[in-house]
Amino acid sequence: MPPPFMPPNLSTFGRRESLWRETGTETCCPLFLFSFDLDSTWRPKTRCIFWCLPLPPTIWGVSMSFKILTLLGLVLFVVGINPVLGTKETNASRLKRGLSLLPPPFLFNKRGTATTPTSARPSQGLLPPSHGHSGRIHVLAVNGSSLGYDLHVQTLTNKEPFDLRIKGPTQNPLKSPLYLGVVTARNIPLHDLVKVPLSTVTQAHHTTASDNGFIQSTIWAIDSNTTELKAQYTNPNGTKSPLLPAFDPHGNELHFVEDLAIYNSANSDFPSVAVRFYLSED
């Protein structure tokens, strides 16, 4: 049995190395050092430094296996809590710190440089005279700042209201075309307090029952001068309700309302902001 190990100092460092060589009991013990800092988005990041220290099998009466298990437990603990520390922040937390809102999520193919275009109105001359429309939905705030791009869409007619068919792969298990439309919870006329999500639906010229609610896709019209897209919902009784696009910063979603001021007065804890949809070039 080797002699008990004492804390080393400069005068005994050579003796410690000699003792380990003589007894043949030198062991490499991993040591992990973790540090936390914040990146530019105020999200914590973890840095790990690995050292391998030569240690004898017992130090101050504690076995080497116990020390290794303790170190491994520390590593597993830090790794386990790290995903929690790196959880994506919400709009609510950003608002509390006085930061700008996160951009709204989009259904497919979000462009990485969504904020690059700053023009409040896409280029003119986009619309052919009689063969429908094709382009990408550009989401802008009412002050003209760009929030990003959504789906590539097309329609084969200029007759309004029309459908906006989604171009490209949509991961639809039914293999049928999908359209940009709305889903309502009940087959009743809309009123000011209803929030109607912007959704991908199958084609439905009129209010149609589905597994998820009542859908409608033939809701769109376009301003030929500005390429702004506008939506209108046809109620089952034939009356029409305008759909105003809005962004919910707390739920981080695009949706429609009939009257934003009345909607926000009834949802003052989670108000929405007005946005506009334009048809931009592909």
Distance CA 195, CA 253 (A): 11
**CA 40 to CA 222: how far, in whole Å?**
40
Tell me the pLDDT tens digit for each residue of 18-40: 434 444 444 444 444 444 444 44
pLDDT digits (tens, 9 = 90+) for 124-138: 444 444 567 888 989
In DSSP notation, 184-243 reads ESSSS---TT--EEEEEE---SS-EEETTEEEE---EEE-TTT-EEEEEEEPTTS-EEEE
Beta strands in the chain (DSSP E): 27-38, 44-55, 58-59, 62-63, 133-141, 146-155, 165-166, 179-184, 196-201, 208-210, 213-216, 220-222, 228-234, 240-248, 253-257, 273-280
Q: If pLDDT is split at 50, 70 and 90, which confidence band does 246 have? A: very high
**90 touches 246 (CB < 8 A):** no
CA–CA dist 267, 246 (Å, integer): 13
Q: What share of the chain is helix, strand, coil (3-state, %, to 5)?
A: 15, 35, 50
Q: What is the pLDDT of residues 219-238, one digit of tens each?
A: 999 998 899 999 988 877 77
pLDDT at 67 over 70: no
Q: Specify the length of the chain in residues.
A: 282
By the 8 A CB rule, do 233 and 240 touch? yes
Single-letter amino acid, residue 64: M
Which one has a higher pLDDT value, 182 or 118? 182
Q: What's the burial of 13, exposed, middle or buried (CB within 10 Å: 0-12/13-18/19+)? A: exposed
Rounded average pLDDT over 50-62 = 48
Please state the rounded mean pLDDT for residues 158-168: 85
**What value, to the nearest 5°, has the Cα angle with vertex 160 and ends 134 and 140?**
55
What are the C-alpha distances in Å from 200 to residues 12, 154, 155, 243?
Answer: 75, 14, 15, 16
